[in-house]
């Protein structure tokens, strides 16, 4: 028969087993996952809804599902935050890139237009200089003719003294008075026009120089902008690398979460299997938990005591260090006080040893710290002995002291970490207690009705299936996110390729500008040299022409005189006898004049020889100039090659330096990881030793608790039976004598032995499970390392893409090298042509011939031929080079 109390006990679980429905309105999301906007749709409302779902699951005591969903929401939040930051950066950088491209395009258009304007201005300047040279030659010829006319007029002035004023001015050219005046006026007008043209040409040349300066400033600005663009490109590349690293880390985190999910599923299966086996042990674990709580409280008290002892020890250590400093100061003055100080140190060491022995009895963890302190103290003693032996080791001792202080700080941090771990253990214990209480309730429910347990099991299986479906949906979403991320990475790679192409174009443009600038400088120098030579030739030519003109005028005057004398002789042949003396004088005058003529001829021959010698000197100077130009060109090419080699070496050095920096940082990180792992291993080892000792000490107490619990259960059963008999009395048991007998000692010993065997088996099983778990963790870590080192599909794809890029770059380099060789050949041919033209100019110097016709501009067929002949002209001078064909 079942009592009323038992019925009430059975009915109560029925009321508690009814699951409360989830207070959560399930809203169907009709939006497709692929159509979601990652920037706007995933917002605070999305994450608030996820947090609300987690809260509802926690209230429904679905802790596993809530933890998983919370983890996935955190991962999605981090991914969304990184995505939003990248989108904002792209929106911020895109207008800058567009503006820089527009500026480059405008600069290129300006350079093209400026080149065309420069060519047109060169052509205009060439035409202007042609006209100015022709007008100058015309003026010279007209002036020569006027001088001849004036000389003739002066000669005939004496003969025709009775003529009018017009005849006095123009002589025998009085008929052509109007024509001469018209020619004079026309020449004056042409001179004025030519002066105006020269002024306009000078203005154009100044404008050209101003345009060239503006272009140079624009080029410098473009170079600075190109450098700034390169800096921005490097920043973008660094950001892209950081994004790629974060993406790889997120992928690794996803892989780890997947592995952890598999492990947790397996653990869930194993826990479901072990639940059926460990139902009988839960009641015992309650008593153990109470005992553990008492032990934890005792351990907390002992930990407080240990912390106080450690604080005292640190104070003692500080005092000892101060005493050591005093000893070091006193050692230099007196050597006898060293023995007293060492005795004091030994006493302090003995006190510390006693303290460490006490701490060792209390707990092994504090024993490890004290042993380290003793080791450091022993090191200090050895160092003090070394100080007595040699005073030169003080610096080393100071360094060791600094390391000891650092280790002491590390020990303090380890103590803080241990206290934190103890707090974590307490928290875990509380969580375990709550879990055990909930499990005990579940076990009571299962003991009351197994049918309800089977129903709950089916419901749990259904929920597990639902969770599996939800996990599959989450995996699909994650895969979609990964696909979107891969698309974004491909877009980013395309943008980086475009940036590389733009950078290459800018680099080629810079090279072209440098080559044009170098050619421009070479041509400027050649122009200056040629203008100087031209000016010298013109000066010499003007001097020689002036001298020749003077000589010709003197010769013409002498010829006129001779003619006049001959006429006089013919007229005075009748008066020969009368004028013989006069004839003799005249003959003497004629001989003197002939001598003067001979001297003039000799002077002319000397002048011609000097001119030929000067021409030979100028030829030699031209050859020397060509050799100097060739040497200068060779030196320039060598300097360009050396500069290119220096740039390549600098780039290699930068790459090597970056690699070294990365290697050093990685090496330091690995060293720190190894140090931390060593510390964790030592801590775990000490914790395992302490736990083993605690288990050995608590085994006897557990046995006694089990024995007392059994005795309590037996007495409760007896009391319950007696109360039932008292409530329902019968005639059979009315006159029975009640006796309470204890079991015999032999039985108790046998039971104790059996319990000890069970406890040993369980401890061995626990140790084996821990070893297996450690081995599984090691294998898991090794597999993770192997997987991290293994190349992925994306890396292989990147390698293939990089190989393609390298092939394209090699092709481009080959084409550029071929173009460069062609450019070099063209440049050499142009240089050879210019050298030949300069040689021709030097061989045939330009001397104006008064009798020949003036070089008209119609001789040149076009501006290009004129530019070939008249290479350049100065804006300051009114001279230019004209080559004869």
Angle in degrees, CA 544, 548, 551, rounded to 5? 140
Angle in degrees, CA 862, 863, 866, rounded to 5? 95
882 or 466, which is more confident: 466
**880 three-state secondary structure:** strand
Tell whether the model's pLDDT for residue 491 goes beyond 80: no
> Partners of 880 in the beta sheet?
873
Average pLDDT of the residues in 847-875: 40
For the chain, how far is it from start to end, CA to CA, in angstroms? 143
Whether residue 87 contacts residue 39, with contact meaning beta carbons closer than 8 Å, is answered with yes
CA distances from 554 to 107, 548, 550, 599, 648 (A): 65, 10, 6, 13, 73
Residues 140-163: b if buried by 16+ CB within 10 A, e if exposed: eeeeeeeeebeeebeeeeeeeeeb
Residues 6+ apart with CB under 8 A from 758: none
Quick one: pLDDT band at residue 280, thresholds 50, 70, 90? low
User: Alpha-carbon distance 478 to 379, whole Å?
Assistant: 57
Residues 6+ apart with CB under 8 A from 183: 142
The pLDDT of residue 99 is 78
Judged on CB neighbours under 10 Å (0-12, 13-18, 19+), 201 is buried
Which residue is listed with tokens 């024995």? 707
Whether residue 505 contacts residue 572, with contact meaning beta carbons closer than 8 Å, is answered with no
Tell whether the model's pLDDT for residue 36 goes beyond 70: no
**Could you tell me which of 314, 334, 328, 333 has the C-alpha nearest to residue 385?**
328
Quick one: pLDDT band at residue 85, thresholds 50, 70, 90? confident
CA distances from 17 to 13, 444, 605, 619 (A): 6, 11, 141, 121
pTM of this prediction exceeds 0.75: no
Average pLDDT, the chain: 71
Whether residue 495 contacts residue 838, with contact meaning beta carbons closer than 8 Å, is answered with no
Q: Which two tokens stand for residue 268?
A: 């869930």
Per residue in 205-244, pLDDT (tens digit) is 677 778 777 777 877 777 777 778 777 777 777 777 777 7
Angle in degrees, CA 741, 746, 750, rounded to 5? 115
Q: Which two tokens stand for residue 804?
A: 């393609």
Per residue in 644-700, pLDDT (tens digit) is 888 888 888 888 788 788 878 888 888 888 888 888 888 888 888 877 776 666 767
The pLDDT of residue 28 is 44
Average pLDDT of the residues in 83-94: 82
Q: Which two tokens stand for residue 113?
A: 């237009």
129 or 804, which is more confident: 804
CA distances from 752 to 55, 706, 709, 745, 759 (A): 49, 9, 13, 10, 10
User: Alpha-carbon distance 477 to 35, whole Å?
Assistant: 12
854 or 403, which is more confident: 403
CA 279, chain centre distance (Å): 62
Q: Which stretches does DSSP call E strand in 187-270?
A: none
Q: Which two tokens stand for residue 72?
A: 């996935």
**503 three-state secondary structure:** helix
Residues 6+ apart with CB under 8 A from 28: none
**Radius of gyration (C-alpha) of the chain in whole angstroms:** 57
Share of the chain above pLDDT 70, in %: 65
Judged on CB neighbours under 10 Å (0-12, 13-18, 19+), 717 is exposed
851 or 179, which is more confident: 179
Share of the chain above pLDDT 90, in %: 0
> Partners of 873 in the beta sheet?
880
**Could you tell me which of 643, 416, 345, 602 has the C-alpha nearest to residue 514?**
643
**Could you tell me which of 471, 480, 613 has the C-alpha nearest to residue 540?**
613
Q: Classify 449 in phi/psi space as left (phi over 0), alpha (psi -120 to 50) or beta.
A: beta
Which residue is listed with tokens 């579940």? 442
User: Alpha-carbon distance 385 to 381, whole Å?
Assistant: 6
User: Alpha-carbon distance 784 to 256, whole Å?
Assistant: 9
Q: What's 257's DSSP letter?
A: H
Q: Which stretches does DSSP call E strand in 653-755?
A: none
Whether residue 381 contacts residue 349, with contact meaning beta carbons closer than 8 Å, is answered with yes
CA distances from 622 to 497, 536, 843 (A): 53, 14, 10
Containing 358, the helix (H) or strand (E) segment is helix 337-362
Residue ranges of domains in the chain = 289-448, 803-861
Whether residue 690 contacts residue 368, with contact meaning beta carbons closer than 8 Å, is answered with no
Tell whether the model's pLDDT for residue 849 goes beyond 70: no
User: Alpha-carbon distance 101 to 108, whole Å?
Assistant: 11
Tell whether the model's pLDDT for residue 536 goes beyond 50: yes
Neighbours of 575 (CB within 10 A): 11
Containing 576, the helix (H) or strand (E) segment is none
Q: Which stretches does DSSP call E strand in 584-654?
A: none
Residues 6+ apart with CB under 8 A from 352: 313, 316, 370, 373, 374, 377
The pLDDT of residue 110 is 64
Residues 6+ apart with CB under 8 A from 576: 583
Tell whether the model's pLDDT for residue 817 goes beyond 80: yes
Tell whether the model's pLDDT for residue 174 goes beyond 70: no
The pLDDT of residue 162 is 46
Residues 6+ apart with CB under 8 A from 170: 149, 153, 176, 177, 180
Whether residue 610 contacts residue 834, with contact meaning beta carbons closer than 8 Å, is answered with no
User: Alpha-carbon distance 240 to 252, whole Å?
Assistant: 18
Per residue in 187-200, pLDDT (tens digit) is 777 778 777 777 77
Tell whether the model's pLDDT for residue 10 goes beyond 50: no
Per residue in 428-476, pLDDT (tens digit) is 777 777 777 777 777 667 667 666 666 677 677 777 777 777 777 777 7
Tell whether the model's pLDDT for residue 30 goes beyond 60: no
Neighbours of 2 (CB within 10 A): 8
Whether residue 134 contacts residue 127, with contact meaning beta carbons closer than 8 Å, is answered with no
Average pLDDT of the residues in 699-723: 82
Quick one: pLDDT band at residue 163, thresholds 50, 70, 90? very low
Neighbours of 174 (CB within 10 A): 17
Tell whether the model's pLDDT for residue 114 goes beyond 80: no
The pLDDT of residue 872 is 39
Whether residue 236 contacts residue 499, with contact meaning beta carbons closer than 8 Å, is answered with yes
Lowest mean pLDDT across 66-70, 272-276, 334-338, 489-493: 334-338
The pLDDT of residue 859 is 38
Tell whether the model's pLDDT for residue 808 goes beyond 80: yes
The pLDDT of residue 741 is 63
Tell whether the model's pLDDT for residue 249 goes beyond 70: yes
Lowest mean pLDDT across 471-480, 628-637, 738-747: 738-747
Per residue in 499-528, pLDDT (tens digit) is 777 777 777 777 777 777 777 777 777 777
553 or 750, which is more confident: 750
The pLDDT of residue 288 is 73
Neighbours of 860 (CB within 10 A): 21
CA distances from 667 to 661, 672, 676 (A): 10, 9, 14
> Partners of 359 in the beta sheet?
none
**Could you tell me which of 471, 458, 339 has the C-alpha nearest to residue 72?**
471
Helix axes 364-389, 282-333, angle to 10 degrees: 10
Quick one: pLDDT band at residue 862, thresholds 50, 70, 90? very low
Per residue in 756-787, pLDDT (tens digit) is 888 888 888 888 888 888 888 888 888 888 77
User: Alpha-carbon distance 625 to 619, whole Å?
Assistant: 10
The pLDDT of residue 454 is 63
Between the ranges 289-293, 385-389, 796-800, where is the mean pLDDT highest? 796-800
Tell whether the model's pLDDT for residue 740 goes beyond 50: yes
The pLDDT of residue 761 is 87
User: Alpha-carbon distance 180 to 172, whole Å?
Assistant: 13
């Amino acid at each position: 028969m079942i009592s009323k109390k038992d019925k009430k006990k059975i009915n109560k679980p029925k009321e508690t087993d009814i699951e409360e429905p989830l207070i959560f309105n399930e809203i169907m999301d009709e939006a497709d996952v692929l159509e979601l906007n990652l920037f706007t749709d995933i917002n605070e409302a999305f994450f608030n809804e996820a947090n609300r779902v987690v809260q509802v699951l926690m209230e429904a005591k679905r802790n596993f599902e809530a933890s998983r969903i919370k983890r996935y929401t955190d991962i999605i939040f981090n991914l969304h935050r990184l995505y939003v930051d990248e989108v904002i950066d792209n929106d911020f950088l895109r207008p800058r890139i567009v503006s820089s491209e527009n500026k480059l395009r405008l600069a290129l258009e300006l350079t093209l237009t400026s080149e065309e304007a420069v060519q047109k201005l060169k052509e205009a300047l060439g035409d202007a200089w042609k006209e100015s040279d022709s007008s100058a030659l015309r003026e010279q010829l007209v002036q020569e003719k006027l001088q001849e006319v004036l000389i003739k007029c002066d000669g005939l002035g004496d003969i025709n003294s009775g003529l009018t004023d017009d005849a006095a001015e123009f002589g025998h050219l009085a008929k052509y008075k109007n024509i001469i005046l018209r020619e004079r006026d026309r020449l004056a007008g042409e001179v004025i026009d030519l002066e105006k043209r020269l002024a306009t040409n000078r203005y154009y040349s100044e404008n050209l120089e101003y345009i060239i300066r503006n272009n140079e400033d624009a080029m410098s600005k473009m170079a600075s902008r190109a450098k700034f663009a390169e800096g921005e490109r490097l920043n973008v590349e660094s950001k892209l690398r950081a994004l790629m690293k974060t993406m790889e880390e997120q992928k690794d985190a996803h892989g780890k979460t997947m592995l952890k999910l598999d492990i947790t599923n397996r653990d869930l299966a194993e826990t479901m299997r072990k639940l059926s086996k460990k139902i009988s042990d839960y009641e015992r674990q309650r008593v153990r938990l109470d005992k553990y709580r008492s032990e934890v409280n005792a351990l907390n008290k002992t930990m407080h005591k240990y912390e106080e002892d450690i604080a005292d020890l640190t104070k003692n250590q500080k005092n000892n260090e101060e005493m050591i400093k005093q000893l070091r100061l006193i050692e230099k003055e007196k050597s006898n006080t060293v023995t007293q100080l060492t005795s004091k140190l030994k006493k302090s060491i003995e006190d510390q040893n006693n303290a460490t022995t006490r701490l060792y009895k209390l707990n092994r963890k504090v024993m490890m710290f004290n042993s380290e302190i003793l080791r450091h103290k022993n090191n200090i003693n050895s160092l003090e002995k070394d100080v007595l032996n040699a005073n030169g080791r003080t610096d080393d001792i100071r360094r060791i002291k600094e390391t000891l202080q650092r280790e002491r700080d590390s020990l303090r941090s380890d103590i803080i970490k241990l206290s934190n771990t103890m707090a974590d253990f307490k928290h875990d214990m509380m969580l375990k207690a709550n879990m055990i209480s909930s499990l005990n309730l579940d076990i009571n429910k299962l003991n009351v009705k197994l049918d309800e347990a089977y129903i709950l099991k089916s419901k749990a299986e259904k929920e597990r299936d639902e969770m599996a479906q939800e996990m599959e949906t989450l995996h699909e979403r994650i895969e979609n996110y990964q696909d979107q991320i891969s698309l974004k990475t491909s877009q980013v790679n395309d943008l980086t390729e475009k940036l590389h192409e733009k950078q290459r174009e800018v680099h080629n443009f810079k090279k072209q500008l440098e080559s044009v600038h170098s050619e421009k400088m070479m041509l400027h120098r050649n122009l200056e040299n040629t203008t100087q030579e031209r000016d010298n030739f013109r000066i010499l030519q003007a001097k020689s022409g002036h001298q020749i003109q003077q000589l010709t005028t003197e010769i013409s005057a002498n010829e006129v005189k001779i003619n006049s004398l001959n006429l006089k002789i013919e007229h005075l042949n009748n008066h020969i006898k009368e004028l013989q003396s006069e004839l003799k004088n005249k003959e003497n005058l004629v001989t003197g004049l002939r001598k003067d003529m001979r001297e003039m001829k000799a002077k002319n021959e000397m002048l011609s020889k000097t001119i030929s010698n000067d021409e030979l000197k100028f030829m030699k100077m031209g050859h020397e100039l060509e050799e100097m130009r060739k040497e200068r060109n060779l030196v320039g090419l060598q300097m360009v090659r050396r500069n290119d080699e220096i740039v390549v070496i600098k780039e290699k050095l930068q790459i090597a330096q970056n690699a070294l920096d990365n290697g050093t940082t990685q090496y330091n990180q690995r060293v720190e990881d190894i140090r931390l792992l060593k510390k964790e291993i030592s801590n775990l080892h000490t914790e395992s030793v302490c736990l083993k000792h605690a288990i050995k000490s608590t085994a006897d107490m557990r046995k006694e608790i089990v024995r007392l619990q059994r005795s309590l259960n037996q007495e409760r059963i007896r009391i319950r039976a007696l109360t039932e008999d008292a409530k329902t009395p019968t005639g059979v048991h009315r006159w029975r004598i009640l006796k309470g007998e204890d079991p015999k000692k032999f039985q108790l010993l046998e039971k104790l032995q059996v319990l000890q065997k069970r406890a040993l088996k369980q401890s061995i099983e626990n140790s084996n499970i821990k070893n297996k778990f450690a081995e599984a963790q090691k294998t898991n870590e090794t597999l993770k390392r192997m997987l991290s080192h293994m190349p992925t599909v994306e890396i292989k794809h990147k390698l293939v893409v990089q190989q393609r890029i390298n092939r394209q770059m090699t092709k481009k380099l080959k084409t550029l090298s071929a173009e460069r060789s062609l450019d070099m050949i063209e440049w050499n041919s142009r240089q050879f042509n210019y050298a030949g033209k300069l040689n021709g100019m030097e061989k045939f110097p330009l001397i104006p011939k008064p009798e020949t016709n003036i070089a008209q501009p119609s001789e040149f067929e076009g501006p290009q031929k004129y530019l070939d002949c008249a290479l350049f002209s100065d804006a300051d001078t009114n001279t230019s080079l004209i080559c004869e064909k």
